[in-house]
Structure 1
Amino acid sequence: MSRTTRRRLRFVILGAGMSGILAAIRLRQAGHDDITLYEKTDRLGGTWRENTYPGIACDVPAHLYTYSFEPNAGWSRMLAPGSEILQYFERTADRYGIRPLIRFGEEVTACVFDEGRWQLQTARGTRDEADVVIAATGVLHHPRMPELPGIERFGGAYFHSARWDHGVPLDGRRVGVIGTGSTAIQITSALSRRASKYSLFQRTAQWIFPMENPAYSTEEKQVFAREPERLGALREELNRMMIDVIADAVIDAESAGVKNLADACLQNLEQGVRDPLLREKLRPTYRAGCKRLILSPDFYEAIQQPMAELVTESIEGVEPAGVRTRDGCLHQLDVLIAATGFVADRFVRPTVVRGRNGVDLDEVWAAKPAAYLSVAIPDFPNLFLLNGPNGPVGNFSLIQVAEFQLDYILQLVEHLRDGSLREIRVRPEVATAYEERRVEAARKTIWSTGCNSWYLDAQGVPASWPWTFSKFAQTMARPEMTAFEDVA
């Protein structure tokens, strides 16, 4: 086809979070103009809309957790607070005219491939169709609630950290938090001085990497705004630091980088916790990096506040007055918060997705979710995922990941637009061979060294990209078209 007779494609994007906004912007920049985003809630922003707990911040430096084409000179700190990140995405969506493309309050419940197009239906009964569907539904958006016998009898307020009830007062109250992941650590830093009593219920100790979070001065922000090259240099410096210190270290359990991480975490524990009994309670029994490494400048200081306590006895049940642990102790509470993470293997589900010949995604993913390069699934033509299964969720900035994946997807889509292909579908044997290679490499990473984490799939294999940052960038730079069936 000539440029003037190229096929006009209709795109539907599922989700208006970080990657959905990115997809809409990049599609428009590539000359596509028939785009609709379906967002199940009444506001864009994804995880930064849903998570509003005290102390929330990104654990990736802000100038890396930024679209490459939309730098932000005004970040207040190196690790930006969640409210600033949400404002950034809202501002960027408005600047690029994305908000009018979003159908708010429309959760897509079914997505069925029929006669070369995707047929969609929403919970409101809206019907739509598309040539291409991009699932930008995120990774961590289905809260995991703990099983707590007697919770229905609790006399105080109880909620998940991702469903924070801002109508509940916290100052001077007795607050309990269940969990010790990144969210619980940030909440501890924010609340341990505000509560009259603060109880952190720990099932598993965590290694804490002592990453400082300095504020950017007014002068620094003015320089970044006035001299974009200075901001670009900072971004590159931060990127190199994250790659060298974390991304390329954790893929080899025996690497010098992993040893350096472990040494830093151990020194932080030994020097940061004064009480030897508390120190031992906080000492993990697995290797640093096996679980997602937690970055915090002040958690140890926060948990050592006079009003804070670390509870390591397991929870027996919940009573009207509080939480009773196995040692018989009743921890009296006014507020109980479940910082217990998310169901990490949902991705586009619970949307019903059926591909060629009625193949059901739930059946395909019955054992575990998998996708070729975390982007494409056999028998699901013209359906692409951003930050899908087995991508670099544990070691890269997810904005960087999504940008690389968008570049890859746009190149595939070009074959649909110019008419050289009618369907883009990865060959099953290629996807299977890729997954076998990925699993073999994943067994050599630090995530496979003997801990239980949300990185692991049902078979106990890390569900993440197990190679270097540069290999990911190189792989995403240009699709290998022999991996896809020739459906012209």
Structure 2
Amino acid sequence: MVLKTFASPEWRLDKPIHTERPVRVICIGAGASGLQLAYKLQKHISNFSLTVYEKNPEVSGTWYENKYPGCACDVPSHNYTYSFEPKTDWSGLYGTGQEIFTYFNDFADKYGLRRYIKTQHQVVGAKWTGSGWKVTIKNLITGEIVNDTCDILVNAAGFLNNWKWPDIPGLDKYKGALLHSANWDETVDLKGKTVGLIGNGSSGIQILPAIQPIAQKVIHFMRNANWVAALPGGEGRQYSEEEKRRFAEEPGHLLAYRRRVERGNNALLPVFIKGSDANKKLGEYMFNTMKEKLAGNKELEEKLIPNWAVGCRRLTPGPGYLEAFAEPNVQVVFSGVTEVTERGCKCEDGTQYDVPDVLICATGFDVSYRPRFPIVAGDKNLQDVWAEDPESYLGLAVADFPNYFMIFGPNCPIGNGPLLPGVEAQTDYMVKMIDHWQTHNIRTFTPDAAAVRDFIAYRDQFMPKTVWADACKAWYKSNGKVTALWCGSTLHYLEAIRQIRFEDWKFEYEGNRFTYLGNGQSQTETNPDADHAYYIRNEDDDLPLARNKMTNIINKTSVAVVAENSGEGVFFSGI
């Protein structure tokens, strides 16, 4: 058990201003978000201790867990990386699940992050003690329950992490092999088998073309139509050895390619605005593409092409998916499964379908945002607070839950454009707040409840303008409100949280808040290598003090950019 790191504020009186007191951080989850937090703390923060608790035997989160046939990212692979950490040897436009696992696993090794990580340790509870968090952890190897404490708790458990069986009676009666896409049993051989596949979300769309060539028969059950995206020239695209050589060896080539793709990803917002020309144009393109792939089958066109706007549900590239419907060993059932029997599935019309060998549930995750374990502060449990409507502060924090952060909480840019830049922006924000906590006499920080209410009111005013609010069944929504997505573009989010709005936070202090001023000396005076006349110069070379002028430097406004249309990276965002 780690002892608390809070120290009496009086010790600062003998120290220079802004002396960093020790901080103890616990992070839940070692996926892409938890690894990034560990990297940022290691790079930017001094005098810290960190433990990352991960329930899996390995790092990488969802990319360790998901091993189903055809598992891949639905974001162009060269842009499903941290902004500063490219990978030159992706096999193709869409990276496989194994490649993505390797990327994050190698990242942990390269930067020595495993020193902070305890695998096969699952957090089962967290309680605010008044001055820090008491965190309860289960050792999944021994079954032992242990406690740890921290000053600041970060929940990076992920939003596509808690898989669940569909709520269908009779699943326990099925005599064949029962699989879930997020809990795949690689020992089950599908060759020559009759396989049932329930669900046509992202996982189902990837699984069908992967298993169709090896199964004797696939019966695909679906209740809802879905837009299946297709990038021009992108389906099944593999990089040639020459392309990979250029990515690895030609200075600037890969960077230019990644930026070109990212510009396409960052052009997405108009697509999601209801009635916009961009949305109509994309809708026409996808309608015509789907019709072409369905080869004139009017029944399939009627059943598979949605009547709601493109983008209301997640856009998913589906190489080979629509083409698989024309294969003689694929049967499509446009009906919900109401019961699973010993040998198959019974549907809404009462028809029984014989699926004796394997039944695959590609039915997704619990995306309610309700925590999977109690997170308690005072008389409030976040499980109860978020039982129906999850309300956060900018997707980062929660009113009345002190010293608590989360990565990709409600209303974050998870379907608006590039994803991992949002992770980096959030961890940067947390590092800034942790630094502020370390260098001042702060005991607690928490978002002001009024600020959260105002943010939610803004969100609810913005969302009806978008296709996300249309009448489609999507995990983006809760009780009719769009609770998953950010109210704007990814670039909009990066700019919104670049600086901390301290006026939106409530701070409590240990003793006199000005004790941080210390012994009257600056940090500069204690550093023998520093220039004690650093501000004397020949010209004013300061960076801009105003926000927008600084933004122009950050986004390289003065740099001429030729946004080439590569045909890759446009229209898609993803996990």
Residues 1:78 and 2:93 are matched in the alignment: yes
Tell me the residue number matched to 2:197.
177
Tell me the residue number matched to 1:288.
310
Q: Scaled by the length of structure 2, what TM-score is found?
A: 0.81
Tell me the residue number matched to 1:388.
409
Aligned-pair CA distance for 1:250: 4.1
Distance in 2 of aligned mates of 1:281 and 1:27 = 50
Q: Which of these residues, 216, 219, 223, is aligned with residue 203 of structure 1?
A: 223
Tell me the residue number matched to 1:19.
33
Residues 1:441 and 2:465 are matched in the alignment: no
Distance in 1 of aligned mates of 2:25 and 2:151 = 6
**Contact 1:209 / 1:261 at 8 angstroms: preserved in 2?**
no
Structure 2 counterpart of 1:366, one-letter code = A
Q: Deviations over 1:433-475 (max 9, x none)?
A: 0111012111211111111111101244343112123321111
Residues 1:7 and 2:21 are matched in the alignment: yes
Residues 1:256 and 2:277 are matched in the alignment: yes
- Mean alpha-carbon deviation: is it higher for 374-383 or for 21-30? 374-383
**Contact 2:165 / 2:180 at 8 angstroms: preserved in 1?**
yes
**Contact 1:193 / 1:302 at 8 angstroms: preserved in 2?**
no
Q: Which of these residues, 105, 125, 134, is aligned with residue 90 of structure 1?
A: 105
Distance in 1 of aligned mates of 2:206 and 2:16 = 55
SS at match of 1:180: coil
**Contact 1:345 / 1:389 at 8 angstroms: preserved in 2?**
no
Q: Which of these residues, 288, 306, 311, is aligned with residue 328 of structure 2?
A: 306
SS at match of 1:63: helix
**Contact 2:18 / 2:439 at 8 angstroms: preserved in 1?**
no
Q: Which of these residues, 390, 405, 415, is aligned with residue 436 of structure 2?
A: 415
Tell me the residue number matched to 2:245.
222
Task: Decide whether aligned partners of structure 1 residues 35 and 314 sit closer, same or farther in structure 2, where only a CA change above 3 A counts.
Answer: closer
SS at match of 1:175: strand
Rg larger for: 2
Q: Which of these residues, 129, 144, 149, is aligned with residue 129 of structure 1?
A: 149
**Contact 1:251 / 1:467 at 8 angstroms: preserved in 2?**
no
Distance in 2 of aligned mates of 1:131 and 1:476 = 22
Aligned-pair CA distance for 1:88: 0.7
Q: Which of these residues, 418, 441, 444, is aligned with residue 397 of structure 1?
A: 418
Aligned-pair CA distance for 1:423: 2.1
Distance in 2 of aligned mates of 1:227 and 1:7 = 45
SS at match of 2:51: strand
Tell me the residue number matched to 1:30.
44
Structure 2 counterpart of 1:86, one-letter code = F
SS at match of 1:162: coil
Aligned-pair CA distance for 1:93: 0.3
**Contact 2:390 / 2:483 at 8 angstroms: preserved in 1?**
no
Aligned-pair CA distance for 1:133: 1.1
Q: CA RMSD in A?
A: 1.7
Tell me the residue number matched to 2:472.
451
Tell me the residue number matched to 2:540.
none
Distance in 2 of aligned mates of 1:95 and 1:285 = 48
Aligned-pair CA distance for 1:420: 5.0
Structure 2 counterpart of 1:222, one-letter code = R
- Mean alpha-carbon deviation: is it higher for 218-227 or for 172-181? 218-227
Structure 2 counterpart of 1:85, one-letter code = I
SS at match of 1:199: strand
Task: Decide whether aligned partners of structure 1 residues 327 and 358 sit closer, same or farther in structure 2, where only a CA change above 3 A counts.
Answer: closer
Aligned-pair CA distance for 1:327: 4.1
SS at match of 1:69: coil
Aligned-pair CA distance for 1:479: 1.0
Task: Decide whether aligned partners of structure 1 residues 12 and 53 sit closer, same or farther in structure 2, where only a CA change above 3 A counts.
Answer: same
Tell me the residue number matched to 2:176.
156
Tell me the residue number matched to 1:367.
388
Distance in 2 of aligned mates of 1:314 and 1:137 = 31
Moved >4 Å (runs of 4+): none
Q: Deviations over 1:291-338 (max 9, x none)?
A: 111212321112221111111133242222222334454322211011
Structure 1 gaps, min length 5: none
Aligned-pair CA distance for 1:272: 1.0
Structure 2 counterpart of 1:369, one-letter code = P
Distance in 2 of aligned mates of 1:376 and 1:251 = 26
Tell me the residue number matched to 2:542.
none
Aligned-pair CA distance for 1:5: 3.3
**Contact 1:387 / 1:398 at 8 angstroms: preserved in 2?**
no
Tell me the residue number matched to 1:279.
301
- Mean alpha-carbon deviation: is it higher for 397-406 or for 142-151? 142-151
Aligned residues: 484
**Contact 1:78 / 1:216 at 8 angstroms: preserved in 2?**
yes
Aligned-pair CA distance for 1:359: 2.6
Q: Deviations over 1:64-96 (max 9, x none)?
A: 110122111111111100000001111110111
Alignment of 1:306-385 (within 5 A): 306-333=328-355, 334-346=357-369, 349-355=371-377, 357-385=378-406
State, as a whole percentage, how many aligned pairs show the same letter: 34
Residues 1:424 and 2:449 are matched in the alignment: no
Q: Scaled by the length of structure 1, what TM-score is found?
A: 0.95
Tell me the residue number matched to 2:565.
none
**Contact 1:188 / 1:303 at 8 angstroms: preserved in 2?**
no
Residues 1:139 and 2:154 are matched in the alignment: no
